[in-house]
Structure 1
């Protein structure tokens, strides 16, 4: 009898790649789920600043400008830390950087319970929480998306961006109730405990790279080996900035995203509650409206990720900024003691547009800057937070000087119109220029 032998099927994995049975659900989706929950936990602290203006004024006599300065420091560091955090993730791994960041956030928020002077507010809420949250910024979501996904990147970046809105949705009503019922200190402790509660999930479930579990990135046709740790995180972040700063698209993306931050985190998230309170609306009612923004932000951001996989990111951004600017021009006449249908329409409209800008901006960074896109996006995010920080501070100063936020609403609306024009002049780059990317 002649013995026949079968030639083993070729594997797309290298010889040193672990061979494991292919799971029904790709591990990338579990990593994305853990990332989503992590960002939700970190988002808890972002719900609190807008609720603290009046309580801190009542307890310590601090002006809105003073409290706005602490929020401004927080937002600035949130942005400036992001590109270095992205580089640190390449050096030490996603899991370690995120776990340490959550502990820093918990320390900063928890220590505010004992503060009694402005410098302590700046240290705890500005420096510590700013540094920790910057490491948990959207550059974290960009790093996870770039490493674990080849297809569906627009959708995944939209889902992870929506995590911040989900955290706002969950924690704003709770924190506003705690502030009104038990004052602001228990609310700060709640934020600290929430950040600490997420640490075990990160350490046990998050993985740095698909190669760690012997899998290809989702949608990839070949196994991707885990790259060696990249040393010189600070140098790499600065080098990526210098290279990107020599190109026009970087400044257009950074400028438009600065306006995005000014009109969201710096303006509405920070000043909407005190502005509504100026018109006689209760703090809990105003905070609930911000939570509604969080609901529709999830819908708008996930939809934006889906659109980004299919349509020109420049045109999407132009539409988003233009609609946001128009809505801000109507806000001064909508503020009233009670919640009424036109205000609800504004909240829904603004919620759909809130961070819908992130997936197309991230896509443009990938298109323009390739392997450095996560770090470059970190710098673009830094401009977002600088814009937010300026308005968080200047909004409080304007309110102290004029007794009204109207000038801030109108100026922000005009800036959004400028952002719409800026993104339209960014030129396409690469072999797929002029085509529409369709997800498969």
Structure 2
């Protein structure tokens, strides 16, 4: 059996094993990231802190992950995913368990915002793209969209589960349970079965062959305008999306909906995006990355405006439409940007490129939730915060279109 497994590693079909491992990683990442709105309320109530101070825990996690992302990308290119991903599982376990024993609010910035966040970053969408995309050069958008369904699967499972466990056991036991579950889902399987992609010469060329050339050094990579445009579009989209996502449960509760309704909305969005993410990835292969990105973020903006204007705590239909729009568009900001980067850069440099793009995401995660919390603390509602979020997301769309022309080539799908 071991010999058969060894033979399989030499076959392109082993990409589907990598697909399964990547899906499990993203399920954990989705559970960690999308249980934040539920955990946010629990921590704010437990420590008696302001919305801005509590949001700072998650913003700090974002910036820690963002700053570490280039190093994580370099390590991924250097040592490979088989060594790196099990380490991520250990960091997640250590971070969650240590957080559950803190006696002071500030200690969460060490154990959750730093240690657990580094583990989450290591198994997040940017390393998933760098690990999986080289195995499927002809239909990477479709495959990345399919595997990205792991993220909303984690959201659909762990956001409601977090609410149930926190309500019955408290947030500290919930953190211990989650830490153990996440470790078991990540570390053993990746250690046993994770592999590097086939040699680059056996794969299809990238869509922009000239752009893929001369990426042997970081200076050459960072000298390309496309990299920085992708960093910026990731940053602005994340800023706007996380400004709303971290506060959305608190927004719904303040509007008059129950805590269970608010938490279930997050889970429902994740379940709908089980369809939305694969569909978006497949459409981006045929319609182009920029057009699908525009349509997706347009739906995201529409969802925010809808609940801002019509979410009154009495009618459920605004929540239903919010779930549909958000679910069909969730994850597009990272999915399409990652697919575009994989179109342009070879697998030998993709970890580093995605690491820098992830750094932009980290800046957005830092600034968005804190500013949203500050605007709420000053004004008592989320109207200005959510309006600003829509404006910033629109800027991200414009930058994405600029990146199309920075390569000097038209986009032609690989046949």
Interval containing the TM-score (normalised by the shorter chain): 0.7 to 0.9
List alignment gaps of at least 5 residues for structure 2.
206-214
- CA shift, 1:318, in A, is 2.4
Q: Write the distance in 1 (CA, Å) between the matches of 2:42 and 2:301.
A: 31
Q: Secondary structure of the equivalent of 2:146?
A: helix
Structure with more of its chain in helix, by fraction:
2
How is 1:9-408 mapped onto 2 (pairs within 5 angstroms)?
A: 20=7, 26-198=13-185, 199-210=187-198, 240=218, 242-264=219-241, 266-338=242-314, 340-370=316-346, 371-408=348-385
TM-aligned CA deviation for residue 243 of structure 1 = 3.6
8 A contact 1:82–1:137 mirrored in 2 = no
The structural deviation recorded for 1:248 is 2.9
Structure 2 residue matching 1:434: 3-state secondary structure? coil
Deviation per residue, 1:158-202 (Å, 9 max, x gap): 123222111111111111111112221121112101122122122
- TM-score using structure 2 length: 0.88
Any idea what the Cα deviations from partners look like across 1:123-175, whole Å, max 9, x if unmatched? 01111111111111222212222342222211121123222111111111111
Q: Provide the C-alpha distance between the structure 1 equivalents of 2:32 and 2:330, rounded to a whole number of angstroms.
A: 18
TM-score by length of 1: 0.83
Query: Is contact 2:96–2:112 with CA below 8 Å preserved after alignment?
Result: yes
Determine the structure 2 residue equivalent to 1:5. Answer: none
- Paired with 2:15 and 2:201, the residues of 1 have a C-alpha distance of 9
- Measure the CA separation in 2 of the matches of 1:80 and 1:160: 25
Q: Over aligned residue pairs, what C-alpha RMSD do you find?
A: 2.8
Structure 2: how far apart are the matches of 1:253 and 1:220? 23
How many Å apart are 1:324 and its aligned residue?
2.4
Q: Mind listing any 5+ residue stretches in structure 1 that lack a counterpart?
A: 1-17, 222-235
The structure showing larger relative contact order (alpha-carbon pairs under 8 Å, at least 6 residues apart) is 2
Which residue in 1 is equivalent to 2:212?
none
Pairs aligned (count):
400
Decide whether aligned partners of structure 1 residues 335 and 22 sit closer, same or farther in structure 2, where only a CA change above 3 A counts. Answer: closer
Compare CA radii of gyration and give the structure with the larger one: 1
* Larger displacement relative to structure 2 (415-424 or 94-103): 415-424
Q: Is the 8 A contact 1:256 1:423 kept in 2?
A: yes
For 1:52 and 1:30, the matched residues in 2 are separated by 33
Hey, what's the Cα distance between the residues in 1 that align with 2:387 and 2:244?
13
CA displacement at 1:61 relative to structure 2? 1.7
Q: CA 1:430–1:51 in structure 2 vs 1: closer, same or farther (change >3 Å)?
A: closer
